Amino acid sequence: MQATRSILHVDMDAFFASIEQLDNPSLRGKPVLVGHDGPRGVVAAASYEARQFDCHSAQPMSVAKRRCPHAVIVPVHFERYRQVSQRMFVLFDEFSPVVEPLSVDEAFLDLTGSEKLLGEAEAVARRLKARVREELGLTASVGVAPNKFLAKLASDLRKPDGLVVVRAGDVDALLPPMPVTKLWGVGPATAERLRLVGVRTIGDLRNRPADVLDRILGGDADRLLRLAHGIDDRPVVCDREAKSIGQEQTFGIDVEDAEEVRRVLFEQAEQVGRRLRKHALSARSVSLKIRFGDFETITRSTTLKEPTGGTAELWAAACGLFDAWAAQSFRPVRLIGMTAAQLGAHGAQMGLFADPADEKQKRVDAVADRITAKFGTSAIRRGGGLS
Amino acid sequence: MKVICNRGALLEALTVAGNVVAARTPKPVLQCVKVTAADDRLTIAATDLEVAIRYSDSQVQIEQPGEALLPADKFRDIVRESVDDTLALEVTGDTANIRGQDSHFKIFTQKASDFPPVPDFEGDADLEIAGGLLKQLIGQTLFAAARESTRYAFNGVLLSAKGKKIDLVSTDGRRLAQAKGDLISDKLPKEGAKAIIPSKALTLLDKLIDDPEEAVAVQVRENQVIFHTSSATLTSNLVEGQFPPYDDVIPKDTDKKMTAATADFLSAIRRAALLTTEESKGVRLQFSKKGLVLTSRSPESGEATINFPCKYEGADMEIGFNPTFLTDALRVVDSDEISLELTAPNRPGLLKGGPNFLYVIMPVNLQ
């Protein structure tokens, strides 16, 4: 029986839109829609002011404009958001070595066992929010709970700039009235199947007999029932112990320019390389994920001759996969991502014969990592990466 | 061609030759063995264009000389599965008939003239080495050769011979093994000879040597090496390219030294290695006047601590090694005692077992 854990879920508020308002003071207090202003455009993010008008992300831009005709539409600035995200993660690292990035603006932090050093989790959460505000000029909503599920639920309860603590004792009052879709793994299809047997809320789920749930949910029944009681044993997996390390980027619109996709992929290769090197890991395989506007998703993988943590090798593998696909079948891309897998501390084994080219590459990576850690990703650009 | 064969001897020949045949080849003729019946023996030849073998089987009775190309795998399988002591092989036209008491196999042959020439051993040997010694030297080095080469030509073993001495060196960039011995004879020029021999050839050669006393004759040519044992001639192309500057990496200025019984040290490493994983393969060695403490950790399973009393001279030091690299070497050492010389946690260790074997191993970074 494990001791009670202390998990934080940190979720930046209206990330893209907030950054645009930070960078452009004339946008503050106004409804802002981040995305492409065209007939097929999609909202990548909506500021809280725009949300009052029922605008939200992933909505077609045409619908958002109808609901909020006076909203300011701002194009997506990927690089800038990534720069802020990078600094955000550097900040999180100060609070815990166990940080699991979930997306560009969300992470779990495991504070278990650090009470002596940092204090009670709630106080730590407050300090973290204050630091985010001071250093990034943005607000975050934080959930504090004994597990990931409850922490993520909590961070959502009072947005923006919220701080919600959920304790074991709160679960029975909090969960039952909530819709069953709040359980992770229950999407529209499962929710519909459950609705047909009279399960709409988490409370309904708890009360259904086990055999009914087994029939509807199959092997997942156990896990979902445990979640319904607020039990979630998933560990917070930081990069160091991760099975894979990846980055992915969803565009607000279908990107028609292959070069632009490649540019984002290059940034991802740099990020992945940085994260690998930070934990002295190297990867044996690299995969690419591409999603299109119709949600069809393809993946391509390759295994490397030698495990690597170097940006140049990761980029060579990733763009090799991308170019091979693009040459035959390029079509507009909605999401691009790359993952480095089959990780190991291979980086630890030293070599007898120093390869001058290899050594130079390692030195370049090491210097780039130090500059980036201090000044953010746009402080340094690699040459030759885009050829 | 018509010949009666002792099944056991024929099977041996086909199995050995079969190891040379490439698993996948664009040329169908290379999937065959060339069978030649002449001069009271059957010669089985096979090649993958890098390595070639001529194997001699004299446990035969030739009724009509001739030659034919038979599919290597099928032929071997038929001979292996048959139950007779002797089999009759008869080739007429493009069909080979293999007959046992109760069985008759007919397999299609290919044109013998399509088969590439497989050299025989001609002329004098450049050097002669006792079979047993050669097997030992191969056993002490082959394992350390790289699986595939990236920069250097080290997916093979470097053979150097000079002044009636021979040494084999192999490395994969992380550890290096060197084994030495004396030749029976040599007719080498004064500067000796050097050749990088592909791992596949040495693996085959190792299997060919039966009698430790027999003299294995070797010829070293510009691009080829030819080995001759009592039963076969093995020819191999050499690995092209530069062998890394291995002498430079053998530590010469060590100031710390451990000595221990080989078997005991091997046991300690193996026990410590039980709690490492493929992903974090490192064992921590802490040396001090009191001896050695080995520790290992596997994030998912646990950790191990092994106390290993041994003789140690020099300042206290901690260093990490991939345990497999250590056990690989300890298994092939033929002396009861080994010494491990060290300098610093980021410099190579030098393992010695007897006067004729040394092993250099680079450490891992301990976190």
Same domain, B221 and B305: no
What's residue B150's pLDDT? 62
**Structure tokens, B69:** 């190309």
Q: Does B150 touch chain A (CB under 8 A)?
A: yes
Q: Which of A280, A305, A350 sits opposite B362 (nearest CB)?
A: A350
pTM for the full predicted model: 0.64
What's residue B157's pLDDT? 96
Same domain, A277 and A367: yes
- Looking at the predicted structure, is the pLDDT value of residue A143 above 80? yes
Query: Residue A4 falls within a domain, yes or no?
Result: yes
Query: Residue A233 falls within a domain, yes or no?
Result: no
Alpha carbons A55 and A46: distance in angstroms, whole number: 6
Domain count, chain B: 3
Query: Residue B85 falls within a domain, yes or no?
Result: yes
Q: Identify the CA nearest to B250 among candidates B322, B154, B347.
A: B347
- A186: domain CATH number is 1.10.150.20
- Looking at the predicted structure, is the pLDDT value of residue A105 above 60? yes
What's residue B58's pLDDT? 93
Same domain, B341 and B268: yes
Same domain, A29 and A151: yes
What's residue B312's pLDDT? 96
Query: Residue B366 falls within a domain, yes or no?
Result: no
Residue B190 CB contacts under 8 Å (≥ 6 apart), including other chains: none
CB neighbourhood size of A51 (10 A): 17
Q: How many CA atoms lie within 13 A of A315 on its CB side?
A: 23
**CB B351, CB B329: distance < 8 Å:** yes
Residue identified by tokens 């993946």 is: A299
Least confident of A263-277, A352-366, B27-41: A352-366
Alpha carbons A361 and A367: distance in angstroms, whole number: 10
What's residue A386's pLDDT? 47
Alpha carbons B307 and A222: distance in angstroms, whole number: 46
Catalytic residue among A20, A49, A100, A106: A106
Domain count, chain A: 3
**A305 with B278: Cβ contact below 8 A:** no
User: Which of A304, A349, A355 would you mutate first to test chain B, the one with the most B CBs within 10 A?
Assistant: A349
Exposure string (b/e) for A74-96, b if CB count within 10 Å is 16 or more?
bebebebbbbbbbbbbebbeebb
- Cβ contacts (< 8 Å) between B174 and chain A: which residues? 349-352
Same domain, B148 and B218: yes
Could you tell me which residue, B44 or A372, shows the higher pLDDT? B44
Domain boundary among B203, B221, B246: B246
Query: Residue A384 falls within a domain, yes or no?
Result: no
Residue B102 CB contacts under 8 Å (≥ 6 apart), including other chains: none
Same domain, B296 and B218: no
The dihedral formed by the CA atoms of A67, A71, A73 and A77, expressed in degrees to the nearest 10: -110
- Say which amino acid occupies A68: C
- Looking at the predicted structure, is the pLDDT value of residue B311 above 80? yes
- B85: domain CATH number is 3.10.150.10
User: In terms of CA atoms, which chain B residue is nearest residue A307?
Assistant: B279
Same domain, A258 and A359: yes
Domain boundary among B222, B246, B270: B246
Give the single-character DSSP code of A176: T
Least confident of A1-5, A150-154, A270-274, A304-308: A1-5
Q: How far apart are the first and last CA of chain B?
A: 69
Give the single-character DSSP code of A349: B
Q: Which of B175, B244, B282 sits opposite A348 (nearest CB)?
A: B282
Same domain, B257 and B238: no
Q: Identify the CA nearest to A13 among candidates A52, A64, A48, A51.
A: A48
Same domain, A96 and A189: no
Paired strand residues for A244: A341
**Counting runs of H as helices and runs of E as strands, what totals does chain B give?**
7, 27
Same domain, B260 and B217: no
Same domain, B146 and B193: yes
Same domain, A279 and A365: yes
The mean pLDDT value for B322-336 works out to: 95
Alpha carbons A348 and A338: distance in angstroms, whole number: 24
- Give the pLDDT band (50/70/90) at residue A387: very low
Highest mean pLDDT among A250-264, A337-351, B16-30, B39-53: B39-53
**A348 with B150: Cβ contact below 8 A:** no
Domain boundary among B183, B217, B246: B246
Does the annotation mark A241 as catalytic? no
Domain that holds residue B315: 250-361
Same domain, A134 and A191: no
Could you tell me which residue, A316 or A36, shows the higher pLDDT? A316
Alpha carbons A100 and B212: distance in angstroms, whole number: 60
**A352 with B360: Cβ contact below 8 A:** yes
- Cβ contacts (< 8 Å) between A241 and chain B: which residues? 299
What's residue A282's pLDDT? 85
Same domain, A19 and A77: yes
What's residue B307's pLDDT? 96
Query: Residue B121 falls within a domain, yes or no?
Result: no
- Tell me the Ramachandran region of residue A185: left when phi exceeds 0, alpha when psi lies from -120 to 50, beta otherwise: left
**CB A268, CB A338: distance < 8 Å:** yes
**B152 with A343: Cβ contact below 8 A:** no
How buried is residue B366: exposed, middle or buried, by Cβ count under 10 Å (0-12/13-18/19+)? middle
- Cβ contacts (< 8 Å) between A305 and chain B: which residues? 148, 150
Same domain, A251 and A373: yes
Exposure string (b/e) for A348-384, b if CB count within 10 Å is 16 or more?
bbbebbeeeebeebbeebeebbeebeeebbeeeeeee
What's residue B326's pLDDT? 97
Query: Residue B287 falls within a domain, yes or no?
Result: yes
Same domain, B136 and B154: yes
**CB A277, CB A340: distance < 8 Å:** no
Highest mean pLDDT among A66-80, B24-38, B127-141: B127-141
The mean pLDDT value for B224-252 works out to: 92
Query: Residue A145 falls within a domain, yes or no?
Result: yes
Could you tell me which residue, B170 or A377, shows the higher pLDDT? B170
How buried is residue B298: exposed, middle or buried, by Cβ count under 10 Å (0-12/13-18/19+)? middle
How far CA A336 is from CA of A50, A282, B160, in Å, comes to 27, 22, 53
Same domain, A279 and A354: yes
**B363 with A352: Cβ contact below 8 A:** no
User: Which of A353, A358, A360, A362 would you mutate first to test chain B, the one with the most B CBs within 10 A?
Assistant: A353
Domain that holds residue A141: 1-167
Q: Which of A305, A343, A348 sits opposite B150 (nearest CB)?
A: A305
Beta strands B95-99 and B283-288 are unpaired
**∠A380-A384-A386 over CA atoms, to 5°?**
95
- Looking at the predicted structure, is the pLDDT value of residue A346 above 80? no
- pLDDT tens per residue across span B186-236: 999 989 999 999 999 999 999 999 899 999 999 999 899 999 998 899 999
- A62: domain CATH number is 3.30.70.270
Same domain, A305 and A189: no
Query: Residue A99 falls within a domain, yes or no?
Result: yes
- pLDDT tens per residue across span B111-140: 888 899 998 899 999 999 999 999 999 999
**Structure tokens, B307:** 């106390």
Same domain, A131 and A19: yes
The mean pLDDT value for B79-106 works out to: 94
Same domain, B283 and B225: no
pLDDT above 70: percentage of residues in chain B: 99
Q: Does B282 touch chain A (CB under 8 A)?
A: yes
Alpha carbons A282 and A344: distance in angstroms, whole number: 6
Same domain, B89 and B31: yes
Residue identified by tokens 């802020």 is: A84
- Give the pLDDT band (50/70/90) at residue A383: low
Taking the CA of residue A281 and the nearest CA in chain B, the distance in Å comes to 9
Alpha carbons B97 and B106: distance in angstroms, whole number: 5
- Give the pLDDT band (50/70/90) at residue B36: very high
Give the single-character DSSP code of A52: T
Same domain, A262 and A338: yes
- Looking at the predicted structure, is the pLDDT value of residue A31 above 80? yes
The chain-wide mean pLDDT, for chain B, equals 93
